[in-house]
Structure 1
Amino acid sequence: MERDFYQDDANSWTAPLPFRTPRTRLPNNRNQALSRLESLRCTLNKRPEMERHFMDFMQGLFDRDHAEPAPALEEEECWYLPFFGVYHPQKPGNITVVFDWSAKFQGVSLNDVLLKGPNMNNSLIRVLIRFRDEAVAVTADIQQMFHCFQMREDHRNFLRFLWYRNNDPREPVVEYRMKVHVFGNGPSPAVAIFGLRASRELGFDKRIPCDPHVKSFLNDNGCSWVFNPPYSSHMGGSWERMIGVARRILDSQLTQLGSRPLTHDVLTTFMAEVAAIINARPLVPVSSDPDVPCILTPAILLTQKVGAPPTPSGDFGEKDLYRQQWKRVQSLANSFWHRWRKEYLSTLQCRRKWHSTRPNLQQGDVVLLKDPLVKRNQWPMGVIAKVHPSSDGLVRKVEVKVVKDGKAKVYFRSVTGVVLLVSDAVQQV
């Protein structure tokens, strides 16, 4: 999807259909689509108001250039989409034409050969948190969101449908095909949300270099980006240690569940409890001032509410792991809390890792790279091309020049990711 999603010459975003590989060839189901159209014609004849709404919707497709006359077929693979109309309970005067991607013909449907894609909808927790970002919350709806994304040219024959010429039931039936993604198929939600986020990110990236206000703000406030070298998560400091502690606890808990995995709802609720536990940790030392009884925590900054989240009454232990889902979540949350408290508190104790001073790495030193991706019996060696001292004068980041497949490459690494073999000072002696 990332490779085939692009913006065409008309500034329209184009996306393909995510087919499974391998897949079976689709049969020609034109007779099925024609039979469904005749059945729909009988329904519309009995309901004149529905017929008028249906014709208005189809005319809108043609007026917005969302559908086009289908070219003649030779031996290309194609698929004809049956369709029907549905009414929203709160919008009785507006009909929505839904294309039936699940209609089977000879035991196969178009949805059977397509990847559904991940669920990319925003979670309810993220939506509620964003409502507290600013003083005023604004909501909006994208009308016919799926139709905002063009279908790739070579995939449009899979979106053929039968309808009356000039949108007139008195005219003969002709073949059309959709030019956009439509409602009713499995991958359309994932494609639309992926396209919406990709277009937003690409558009924002294009505006940054040309926006003088952003540049002046960054310069006036001295903002700069500092990136950690690859394979050096320990340089993240306290936040990386918290990630490591939480990951170890979760891995241990989920591994012990054995043959009784968590459902999606239970896992989502459990992760919300875990987030509440982690965000309830203190950020500053406890104050002795009686006028400042509360402790600043990440949860206060996120929710602007003082106090720890309420804990359900009752005792929840291992006996509740196999009972009601809510009790199972509370038991897992209690287990996480006990282990988190023990392992997180130990990370707050001051201790020195290095007991002796070592000389800094220098430009020209020969080093061995600690690369977890190398194959057996391979020892990648290189020469330090440049060092990056920190504010205290100690070198913690280096650039290593290596020769691989006859080509020189430079890698950015932490000093913990290299092993000194020969010092440049020794070579000069």
Structure 2
Amino acid sequence: MSGLIKGSENQPIAQQTKLGWILSGPVQSPLQCSVEINNIEDISAYWEVGEIAIASIAMTREEQFCEELYVKITRRLPDGRYEVRLPLKNSFENELGQSKAWAAAQFKQLESRLMRNPHLRDSYQKFMHEYADLGHMIECKERKEHMCYLPHHGVYREESTTTKLCAVFNASSPTSKGKSLNDLMECGPKLQKDIQDLLLRWRIYQYIYTADCEKMYRCILLQEDQQHLQKILWRDNLVDMDRLKEYQLCTITYGMKAVPFLAMRTMQELACDDKEKYPLAAEVLQC
């Protein structure tokens, strides 16, 4: 601040700051100093700004439900992949309305957009072909109660070095009863590390490595009796206007409220299951 008091050459300088007056410089003569604090709230606020919040370890009732369901239901298949279940609320069947008509209308809008942009159309078709070829979605003609159709659209990422276009499935789209699938699903506890904590920990090390789990969500299967809640509409031949086909997604997918929890929890489960075989890898996944 503007306040500045200078004495003789052998005396310190007094500088006014927002936290009060401070003294700096050489001291070669005896001084008598007194300290006066006018605004202790300002000093308290100064320290609280930089404080790292400690996450609560206590789970809510809904979060506890998600954890217990995961432990009870999740199983590992012979090929090493995990099969999980969506943590749906008890009343979801009564509140989940019809969704096919709205999903069909959304798809026709998407179709018009793809017809106007051949490059986007080719990228979208390539993405859907890969989805089917990897077994992440299958054509389904079976009719079940309480089916849910998810509208979808493409997100194009020019900077991506792998998949330029990614289809996003909208589980927040409301059904005829005004409730979406996400509305009828529990979120689960947040298992991701706090970004402030991560940044501070990175400062400890000279070198930092980052890695990405390729198709992380799509490596985790959804139990078959819930796959009808992840139905989509698609037709490959947009020019000849083939009939709309119904597919169901076989893995957890983007746009689902509980998917971040399911993915991170499965990563933890993998580290726990294989820690004896791969102790160093397990330590990295758990830290």
CA–CA distance in 2 between the matches of 1:152 and 1:51? Answer: 31
Within 5 Å, give how 1:76-225 maps onto structure 2: 76-88=145-157, 90-91=159-160, 94-106=164-176, 107-128=178-199, 130-131=201-202, 136-164=207-235, 167-169=236-238, 170=240, 171-205=242-276
Aligned to 2:100: 30
Q: CA deviation at 1:13?
A: 0.7
Consecutive unaligned residues in structure 2, runs of 5 or more: 1-69, 281-287
- What is the CA distance between 1:158 and its match in structure 2? 0.2
Report the RMSD for the aligned CA atoms in angstroms: 2.3
Distance in 1, matches of 2:269 and 2:132, equals: 27
- The one-letter code sitting in structure 1 at the alignment partner of 2:272 is E
AA of the residue aligned to 2:189: P
2:7 pairs with 1:7 = no
Q: CA deviation at 1:129?
A: 5.1
Rounded to whole Å, the distance in 1 between the matches of 2:186 and 2:173 is: 16
Write the distance in 2 (CA, Å) between the matches of 1:12 and 1:91: 26
Query: Could you report, residue by residue, the CA deviation over 1:341-384 in whole angstroms, capped at 9, with x for unpaired residues?
Result: xxxxxxxxxxxxxxxxxxxxxxxxxxxxxxxxxxxxxxxxxxxx
Contact 1:120 1:194 in 2 (8 A): yes
Distance apart, 1:88 and its partner CA: 2.6
TM-score normalised over the length of structure 1: 0.45
1:157-209 Cα distance to aligned partner (Å, 9 max, x none):
00011111xx332332111100001111111111111111111111115667x
Q: Amino acid of the residue matched to residue 183 of structure 1? A: Y
Q: Would the aligned equivalents of 1:25 and 1:77 in 2 still touch at CA under 8 Å? A: no
Does the aligned pair in 2 maintain the 1:15–1:149 contact within 8 Å? yes
The Cα shift of 1:121 comes to 1.1
Distance 2:237 2:120 in 1: 15
Q: Identity percentage over the alignment?
A: 22
- Cα deviation for residue 55 of structure 1 reads 0.8
1:177 partner SS: strand
Q: Deviation digits for residues 121-159 of structure 1, max 9, x if unmatched? A: 111244235536665321101122211110111110000
Name the aligned partner's letter for residue 159 of structure 1. Answer: Q
Does residue 41 in structure 1 map to residue 111 in structure 2?
Answer: yes
**2:284 corresponds to:** none
How many angstroms does 1:10 deviate by?
A: 2.6
Could you list the per-position Cα deviations for residues 5-32 of structure 1 after superposition, in whole angstroms to 9, with x for gaps in the alignment?
Answer: 2102332111111101233342232111
Cα distance in 1 for residues equivalent to 2:260 and 2:157:
19
2:158/2:164 contact within 8 Å kept = no
Q: Distance in 2 between matches of 1:41 and 1:31?
A: 15
TM-score by length of 2: 0.66
Q: Does 1:69 align with 2:139?
A: yes
Which residue in the other structure is 2:121 paired with? 51
- SS of residue matched to 2:72: coil
Q: Which amino acid aligns with 2:89?
A: R
Q: Matches of 1:128 and 1:5 in 2, distance apart?
A: 33
Q: Give aligned pairs, total.
A: 206
CA distance in structure 2 between the partners assigned to 1:55 and 1:101 by the alignment: 21
> Matches of 1:11 and 1:90 in 2, distance apart?
32
If asked which structure has higher relative contact order (CA below 8 Å, sep 6+), I would say: 2
Instruction: Give, in whole Å, the separation in 1 of the partners of 2:84 and 2:276.
Output: 20
The structural deviation recorded for 1:102 is 0.8
Q: Distance in 2 between matches of 1:15 and 1:200?
A: 16
* Aligned residue identity for 2:256: N
Partner Cα distance (2:275, 2:82) in 1: 15
Per-residue deviation, residues 273-312 of structure 1 (Å, max 9, x unmatched): xxxxxxxxxxxxxxxxxxxxxxxxxxxxxxxxxxxxxxxx
| Larger Rg computed on CA atoms | 1
Letter in 2 for 1:76: E
Q: Which amino acid aligns with 2:122?
A: R
Distance 2:187 2:152 in 1: 20
Mapped partners of 1:57, 1:163: distance in 2: 12
Q: Which amino acid is the alignment partner of residue 120 of structure 1? A: L
